[in-house]
Copies of this chain bind each other. A is one copy, B any other.
């Protein structure tokens, strides 16, 4: 009776059984990165979605909300509150387009560009710290592999 290796809490409970799944490891890493990112953006009054929106608007001035939604891979209704918040805070401008009066042209204001610059630097700095254990070559291959996984999955959906 004394040879029971699987008896209750004699051994410490672990998540070893889930480790073989890459998805599990990726989720854990994502949790860590997300927590760090949220903590980094919070002092600037930004969330992930608002930071992402500012970044894409800055890189594509004059785009519409529908285009922004497509670039961020979220549905259009979810951006309404985001653009409203950014507009209210004076970070972006929302101008009617004469040629198509259905859409708004989104652009960063001066204040928005300034905040985005601040936030970008903060995020870059935090990422560097978080990935300091990895070499630049490792980071590059990591990015490449994640990109491959992403395209493999999206191609066949």
Contacts and interface: CB of A to CB of B under 8 A. Distances in A.
Given A24-B52, A26-B146, A152 B133 contact: yes
B149 A145 contact: no
Contacts of A18: 52, 55-56
A25 B153 contact: no
A75 to B, nearest CB: 14
B130 A153 contact: yes
Q: How many chain copies?
A: 2
Contacts of A127: 21-23
Interface residues of A, number: 69
Contacts of A138: 141, 145
A143 B61 contact: no
Interface of A: 6-9, 11, 13-18, 21-37, 52, 55-56, 58-64, 67-68, 70-73, 97, 105, 123-124, 127, 130-134, 138-139, 141-143, 145-150, 152-154, 157
